[in-house]
Amino acid sequence: MGYTFDKISVMVVDDNPHMRKLTTALLHALGVKDVREAADGADAFKEMKVSAPDLVICDWVMQPIDGIDFVRLIRTAPDSSNPYLPIIMLTGHTELARVQEARDAGVTEFLAKPISAKNIYQRLLNVIENPRPFVKSKAYFGPDRRRKTEDYTGPEKREENKNKEGLSPEEVDKLMEE
């Protein structure tokens, strides 16, 4: 028997109404009934205290609080309702430095646009089946990043990728997972 998503609640945070509508529609189609929406990080942070979602899917570029600041708020604000909340960052930023920034802010999964029903579903599965332990140190609180970039020997360190302007979805996955 497979999974059913009808009992989980997801908050979608995106300042673009069209993308928000799409993400919500895809989640509904995958069986998620309880989808809350917010147009920016500040509203989402307030709303989370009331609705207590099981998962957040957020965009990066938003105002006044962008996706990265929103993730940091969830992870480290004293009044955060759930610092361990799984967060999927949905973004068009696929440059190496940006992916590292998202990971270091405490993002659980990175979903690079273009999006599809299949890759949203795969990210949901990853969050559920491979939950990351959390690491708490003086410098960092968030999902275990496994290996710091300076130790990383995966594809983005290869010579041919040094000057590349964007990572492929596979390279993004590798960076998030390794």
Partner 1 sequence: MSEGRGKTEYQVIKPINSLKAKIGNGPGFIDPKIIQKAEKIIEDMSDEFVDIAVKEIEKLETLVLEADSGVLQGNLQKIFLISHELKGQGGTFGYPLLTLIGNSLCRFIEKLENNKELLEGDKAVIRAHVDSMKGVFVNNIGGQGGRIEKEILQGLTIAIQKQTNKWTN
Binding site for partner 1 (CB under 8 A): 1-5, 7-8, 16, 18-19, 21-22, 25-26, 29-31, 54-55, 61, 84, 86, 91-93, 113-118, 121, 125, 127-129, 131, 133-140, 144, 165-166
Rounded Cα distance, 163 and 165, in Å? 6
Cβ nearer to partner 1, comparing 44 with 85: 85
Q: How far is the CB of 35 from partner 1 (least distance, A)?
A: 13
Q: How far is the CB of 169 from partner 1 (least distance, A)?
A: 11
- Residue 51: phi and psi, rounded to 5, are -90, -15
Cβ nearer to partner 1, comparing 25 with 77: 25
Adjacency order of strands within the sheet including 34-38 = 34-38, 9-13, 55-59, 87-91, 109-112
Q: How far is the CB of 142 from partner 1 (least distance, A)?
A: 11
Rounded Cα distance, 13 and 100, in Å? 21
Cβ nearer to partner 1, comparing 14 with 176: 14
Rounded Cα distance, 72 and 65, in Å? 10
